[in-house]
Amino acid sequence: MSIQTYNENRNITNLAKQASVVLLIFGIIFMGIGVYGYMMSDLNYEALQPMAKQVYAARKEARSFETPIAGTIDLFGEGQGRVPLALVSLVMNNAVLILLVGLFFLFNGIMLRTQSWERMKDLLTVEPAVFFILLFVYYPLIDLLRISFTDMRMLVPDPQPFVGLKNYEWLFLKSGWPLFRESLMITLRYTFWEIFITLFGGMLLALLFNRMTRSFQAMRTIVFMPKYIAVATSAVVFIWILDGNHGILNYLLSLVGIKGPNWLVNASTALTGILFLTGWRVVGYAMLIYLSAMQSIPGEYYEAAAIDGADAVHRFRYITIPMLAPTTVFLLVTTFIASMKVFQSVDVMTQGGPGTATNVLVQWIYNLTFRDFRSARAAAVSVVFFVILLICTAVTMRYTNKSVNYDA
């Protein structure tokens, strides 16, 4: 190593150490501010409540007159440490985010002091992407968890007192449990039928259209087109199609002597009506995925099986289905997650009704937030819902990884 290279590395090391000190200082400051804001807002720390009440009063006045928050607050008493109320309000509203930024600074400060510059260069190249993922994916989850431990209500924005496990107690031990259980069962029933329609309908159409002729290519395009149409737009059209008095579906049924029900008004058929829309939208996508997988299966397998005397049914059972297993697992997992989160079609077509016949979990969470104005309870249900999705997806992936051969 030349003297010049050695001196450059030494300068970089010294600069990294200086930067680490700055980052550590900023990390400690941000974490202190974040803790201070969290103690004032959610934790309702008694010694800080007089200042918190001033902030709440200023917010209320600003909302009443539709003006920015004005005034200052005395942080240390006797006229010392006066800061704008708007700044303190901002800290209280974003305490968790400020804490995360402080942790980010601390982490980088520690890494700069303990790791070589060569390793830090690799870390710094991916950190912007990691930061945005943390900010826009994981921070909302953390804040959702925070809200679930408060008594946040949309009509009473201030204060949001910390109530511990009270919302989870309501959900599992009190009046929330029957509602949660009913909503979960409706969601699981809807999910089962969407998965069935996706896998069975998609594979059936793929087998039908697995040809390279021009007419079949046009048909595949037509079948796939509903995926491009917005769910809300499709739902409005299906409200008309499924109308009990003037809908085209009941008109077609009447031609063969069948009296159709009022699909979206009858509690026993409302979920079926929503599944009509679901089937129309999802089978084309599943068909395209299956078609891609089918066309990648080597033709020699079918030729060898035909020479050995296997008919079409046996070739489908012992060649096509096993070779499509990874594709089926992909569709199973993605459809399960998407169907458990169904909302738009339900909200537009039935709003969870009639009664609670289509009150799926996301619709119930929406109603808790915007109809009952119980944001904290909605947050608790959302956290439990997220855990259920996480567990079910992990179990599914673990089971399928053992039973599916991805190297076939």
Per-residue pLDDT tens over the stretch 5-34: 444 455 556 777 788 888 889 999 999 998
Q: Is the pLDDT reported for residue 406 higher than 80?
A: no
Q: Is the pLDDT reported for residue 168 higher than 50?
A: yes
Share of the chain above pLDDT 70, in %: 90
Q: Which CATH number is associated with domain 171-403? A: 1.10.3720.10
Residue written as tokens 């924005």? 157
What's the whole-number average pLDDT of the chain?
85
Strand partners of residue 73: 83
pLDDT at site 272: 94
Strand partners of residue 84: 72
pLDDT (average), residues 347-362? 94
pLDDT (average), residues 349-377? 94
Q: Is the pLDDT reported for residue 80 higher than 90?
A: no
Please report how the helices 85-93 and 3-40 are oriented relative to each other, as an axis angle in degrees rounded to 10: 100
Quick check: 342 and 187 in contact, CB under 8 A?
yes
Instruction: Name the residue ranges covered by the structural domains of the chain.
Output: 3-164, 171-403
- Please, where are the H alpha helices in 246-310? 248-255, 270-294, 299-307
Count each helix (H run) and each strand (E run) in the chain, helices first.
20, 2
Most confident of the ranges 77-81, 239-243, 305-309: 239-243
Per-residue pLDDT tens over the stretch 267-326: 999 999 999 999 999 998 999 899 888 988 888 998 899 888 888 888 889 999 989 988
Burial class (CB in 10 A: 0-12, 13-18, 19+), 202: buried
Per-residue pLDDT tens over the stretch 106-147: 888 888 888 777 777 778 788 888 888 888 888 888 889 989
What are the DSSP calls for 36-105, one per residue?
HHHHHTTS--GGGHHHHHHHHHHHHHHHHHT-----EEESSSTT-SEEEHHHHHHHHHTHHHHHHHHHHH
pLDDT at site 354: 92
